[in-house]
Amino acid sequence: MDETLLRRLTPAVIGILVRRGADFAAAEDAVQDSLVEAVRVWPGSPSQDPKGWLVTVAWRKFLDAARADTSRRHREVRVEVEPVPGPGEAVDDTLQLYFLCAHPSLTPASAVALTLRAVGGLTTRQIAQAYLVPEATMAQRISRAKRTISGVRFNQPGDVATVLRVLYLVFNEGYSGDVDLADEAIRLTRQLAVKTYHEEVAGLLALMLLHHARRPARTAPDGRLVPLAEQDRSLWNTRLIAEGVDVLQTALTRDRLGEFQAQAAIAALHADAQTAEETDWVQIVEWYDELVRLTDSPVARLNRAVAVGEADGPRAGLAALAGLDPALPRHAAAAAYLHERDGDPVTAARLYAEAARSAPSLPERDHLTRQAARLNARLRR
Amino acid sequence: MAKYLLLKHYRGAPASVNDVPMDRWTPEEVSAHMQYMRDFAARLEETGEFVDSQALSPEGTFVRYDGEGRPPVTDGPFAETKDLIAGWMVIDVESYERALELAGELSAAPGAGGKPIHEWLELRPFLTACPTITE
């Protein structure tokens, strides 16, 4: 049975139930139940019309739940819940679901969880595993999120930017489990790009594709982090790169630049270099200038300083770094790198060790410790 | 089965035998150490004795309640002498002897010069839920 197909149908089926009169929270629960049922039943007797099957089963589940709920609340008054004749079921509500699940009243973690369940069709258990929390905790997070947005009209137009932030988080902060969240984020962004054309949706999709293309080269077989300059570029996925570049170029021709397009452009320039030495750092710095202009983000300034160090030499990079807050994440690592290139291994080794102490992840800490060790070993000789 | 916590300290434990800070090892020695830790956890997963393992950042803060309507008080970071936990592994094993054996193995992880660190690990039994039959 094709689980991806099932998952792809999820938002459309929820949309149909909502149009028939179910409220979002109940519709979402009913569709989850129907997915579980499909996983159980389909291997034996696959459906010829998966979507129709899901709609029928989900609607029945919804009615059962509504009746149980109604009889609980009004034991004396028996209210029959009948299907509300809705508009044609050809209407696709997937886009509305993206907006709803990324509603600004939700915290980022709640929006991520709800999006993965209602738009992505993942089970609560899969989402819990992916974020390393107990299933009960994730179930609570999702039902609280549903309560938070219970007053929001389903067809209320939303802001694509909030949806993009949620998808970016899924891509960038996914952890583990049997679901590949990077793949899932790409699938959801691709689907969003089909439903609505927006330059930044394309920009984010391109950014994800270009980064995902490098994933096979990013970690050594022993789990070590391999920095961009040292990656075996023959491991990069050229098909994903070509697609990313294509998506990005189409977006850029529309001349409505945004931060994701700028980030994707930087990733594309890296992807374009056959060797690290061939990297067009001058253009990369120009894109960082755009990114800083668009976001005014200190993190973008920090990355820009490293790029300046490559384009105009380490002294220029250190000068660009000088104005930035040393408490910025990865500031010490960037400074260490630039000092080493500037021929000061003593300062670089000290800064690498400092960076390792404040590293936010184990692979980064190990990598930075190894850098400090490498310089110290050289200094002992 | 009984659960035990293997606690690793950044500082506060007695000095290990092969006591050299990690950034003074060679990069290969660092890699070998990481590999040993990964293999150790993988082996325990295979034997059905692994529960959890986490590493902690050395930067932490002490926090306490400061009364109604007031923000919590924070304190720290503290002087070098203070005990500082680096991470832990939780194991679920048949006996105390098995827990000791595994802690010993973990403490033998290679360090500078490729020689075992002989690091002091703290072994702490979990308090369990009350058994159904106590008499």
* B15 in contact with A, Cβ within 8 Å: no
**pLDDT(B45) > 80:** yes
The secondary structure element, H or E, covering residue B3 is: strand B2-11
Give the pLDDT confidence of B83-108 residue by residue, as tens digits: 889 999 999 999 999 999 999 999 99
Tell if the CB–CB gap between B27 and A377 is shorter than 8 Å.
Answer: yes
A203-224 average pLDDT score: 94
Closest CA of chain B from A358, distance in Å: 7
Tell if the CB–CB gap between B23 and A352 is shorter than 8 Å.
Answer: yes
Q: Suggest the residue from A226, A361, A376 to mutate for an interface test with chain B (most B CBs closer than 10 A).
A: A376
Q: Which of A57-61, A193-197, A278-282, B15-19 has the highest mean pLDDT?
A: A278-282
Instruction: Report the alpha-carbon distance of residue A224 to residue B9 in Å, rounded.
Output: 23
CB burial of A187-208 (b: ≥16 within 10 Å; e: otherwise) equals bbbebbbebeebbbbbbbbbbb
Closest CA of chain A from B31, distance in Å: 8
Q: What is the mean pLDDT of chain A?
A: 91
Residue of A nearest to B27 (CA): A370
- Give pLDDT, residue B11: 86
The pair phi, psi for residue B53, each rounded to 5°, is: -150, 135
Taking the alpha carbons at both ends of chain A, their separation in whole angstroms is 61
| Residue tagged 């960038």 (tokens) | A172
The secondary structure element, H or E, covering residue B2 is: strand B2-11
* A51 in contact with B, Cβ within 8 Å: no
Instruction: Report the alpha-carbon distance of residue A292 to residue A302 in Å, rounded.
Output: 10
- Give pLDDT, residue A68: 86
Tell if the CB–CB gap between A357 and B59 is shorter than 8 Å.
Answer: yes
CB atoms within 10 A of CB A294: 16
Percent over 90 (pLDDT), chain A: 73
Which tokens belong to A78? 């028996």
Tell if the CB–CB gap between B58 and A357 is shorter than 8 Å.
Answer: yes
* DSSP label at residue A39: H
Instruction: Decide if domain A294-381 falls under CATH 1.20.1260.
Output: no
Residue in A223, A365, A369 nearest the CB of B38:
A223
From chain B, pick out residues whose CB is under 8 angstroms from the CB of A373: 22-27, 29-30
A187-216 average pLDDT score: 95
Of B21, B45, B39, B3, nearest in space to B111 by CA: B21
Tell if the CB–CB gap between A373 and B58 is shorter than 8 Å.
Answer: no
B130 found inside a domain = no
Tell if the CB–CB gap between B29 and A349 is shorter than 8 Å.
Answer: no
* B40 in contact with A, Cβ within 8 Å: no
* DSSP label at residue A361: S
Residue of A nearest to B20 (CA): A373
The answer to whether B106 and B7 are in contact (CB under 8 A) is no
- Give pLDDT, residue A76: 47
**pLDDT(B82) > 70:** yes
**pLDDT(A320) > 60:** yes
**pLDDT(A87) > 90:** no
Better-scored residue on pLDDT, A373 or B81: A373
Domain locations along chain A = 3-73, 294-381
**pLDDT(A81) > 70:** no
Which tokens belong to A180? 């590949």
A210-218 average pLDDT score: 95
B15-42 average pLDDT score: 93
**One-letter amino acid for residue B62 of the chain:** F
pTM here is: 0.88
Which tokens belong to A319? 């000068």
CB atoms within 10 A of CB B5: 17
Closest CA of chain B from A237, distance in Å: 27
Instruction: Report the alpha-carbon distance of residue B103 to residue A300 in Å, rounded.
Output: 44
The secondary structure element, H or E, covering residue B4 is: strand B2-11
| Residue tagged 């990656």 (tokens) | A231
Tell if the CB–CB gap between A377 and B34 is shorter than 8 Å.
Answer: no
B32 found inside a domain = yes
- Give pLDDT, residue B78: 67
The answer to whether A191 and A95 are in contact (CB under 8 A) is no
Give the pLDDT confidence of B105-127 residue by residue, as tens digits: 999 999 999 999 999 999 999 99
What CATH number does residue B36 fall under? 3.30.70.1060
A345-354 average pLDDT score: 97
Q: How confident is the model at residue A75 (pLDDT cuts 50, 70, 90)?
A: low
- Give pLDDT, residue A77: 43
A4-19 average pLDDT score: 89
Q: Suggest the residue from B8, B10, B20, B23 to mutate for an interface test with chain A (most A CBs closer than 10 A).
A: B23
Instruction: Report the alpha-carbon distance of residue A106 to residue A117 in Å, rounded.
Output: 15
From chain B, pick out residues whose CB is under 8 angstroms from the CB of A365: 55
The answer, yes or no, to whether ipTM is higher than 0.95 is no
Give the pLDDT confidence of A322-349 residue by residue, as tens digits: 999 999 999 999 999 999 999 999 999 9
Taking the alpha carbons at both ends of chain B, their separation in whole angstroms is 20
Tell if the CB–CB gap between B57 and A356 is shorter than 8 Å.
Answer: no
Which tokens belong to B121? 């690990």
- Give pLDDT, residue A236: 97
**pLDDT(A91) > 80:** no
A37-50 average pLDDT score: 86
- Give pLDDT, residue A176: 65
A14-23, A211-220, A237-246: range with lowest mean pLDDT: A14-23
Local structure of A314: helix, strand or coil: helix
Residue of A nearest to B52 (CA): A132
**pLDDT(A72) > 80:** no
Range of the structural domain that residue B11 is part of? 2-125
B98 found inside a domain = yes
**pLDDT(A84) > 50:** no
Tell if the CB–CB gap between A373 and B26 is shorter than 8 Å.
Answer: yes
* B89 in contact with A, Cβ within 8 Å: no
**pLDDT(A86) > 90:** no
Cis (ω within 30 of 0) for the bond into A104? no
* B38 in contact with A, Cβ within 8 Å: yes
- Give pLDDT, residue A73: 67
**One-letter amino acid for residue A353 of the chain:** A
The answer to whether B25 and B111 are in contact (CB under 8 A) is yes
| Residue tagged 């030495």 (tokens) | A277
Instruction: Report the alpha-carbon distance of residue A292 to residue A281 in Å, rounded.
Output: 16
**pLDDT(A256) > 60:** yes
CB atoms within 10 A of CB A75: 8
Give the pLDDT confidence of A113-125 residue by residue, as tens digits: 999 999 999 999 9
* DSSP label at residue B32: H
Give the pLDDT confidence of A268-300 residue by residue, as tens digits: 999 999 999 999 999 999 999 999 999 999 999
- Give pLDDT, residue A44: 80
Local structure of A219: helix, strand or coil: strand
In a 10 Å sphere around its CB, with 0-12 CB exposed, 13-18 middle and 19+ buried, how is residue A363 labelled? middle
- Give pLDDT, residue A78: 43
E strand residue ranges, chain A: none
Tell if the CB–CB gap between A357 and B29 is shorter than 8 Å.
Answer: no
| Residue tagged 């949806």 (tokens) | A163
Which tokens belong to A200? 């930044």
In chain A, the largest separation of any two C-alpha atoms, in whole Å, equals 89
From chain B, pick out residues whose CB is under 8 angstroms from the CB of A224: 31, 34
Instruction: Report the alpha-carbon distance of residue A286 to residue A280 in Å, rounded.
Output: 10
